Amino acid sequence: MSKQILVVKMEESLEPAVDMLEQVSEDSSVPRNIQEECQECIEILKDGEEELSVRINSCTSKLDNVANDANIPMYTRTQVWNIVSMLESASRE
């Protein structure tokens, strides 16, 4: 399998995580700072200039901080953990 096909496949594996990040960033019950962090993660993951592993690590780090925010609703924290899990499995592929 060529390197270009492999990169496209890895990019496609990020789509479910990006979709969930968009849901969180658009949820009006989520505090604004958390919405903004999720939006930044979307931008990081879609930035084709950076290497994929760097983008995933940057986003995972941001989401760790989000999950530890005292003001995050419990269901949103669960969503964030699921997103982190998706990103970690995408980085292993």
Whole-model pTM: value is 0.85
Cβ(39)–Cβ(33) below 8 Å: no
Q: How many domains does the chain have?
A: 1
Domain containing 86 — which CATH number?
1.20.1440.50
- And the tokens for 86? 């998706």
Domain-embedded: residue 32: yes
Q: Give dist(CA 85, CA 39) in Å, integer.
A: 18
Q: What is the pLDDT of residues 25-57, one digit of tens each?
A: 999 999 999 999 999 999 999 988 888 889 999
Domain of 60? Answer: 16-92
Domain-embedded: residue 4: no
Domain-embedded: residue 10: no
- For the segment 53-74, the average pLDDT, to the nearest whole number, is 95
The single-letter code of the amino acid at 74 is M
Domain-embedded: residue 87: yes
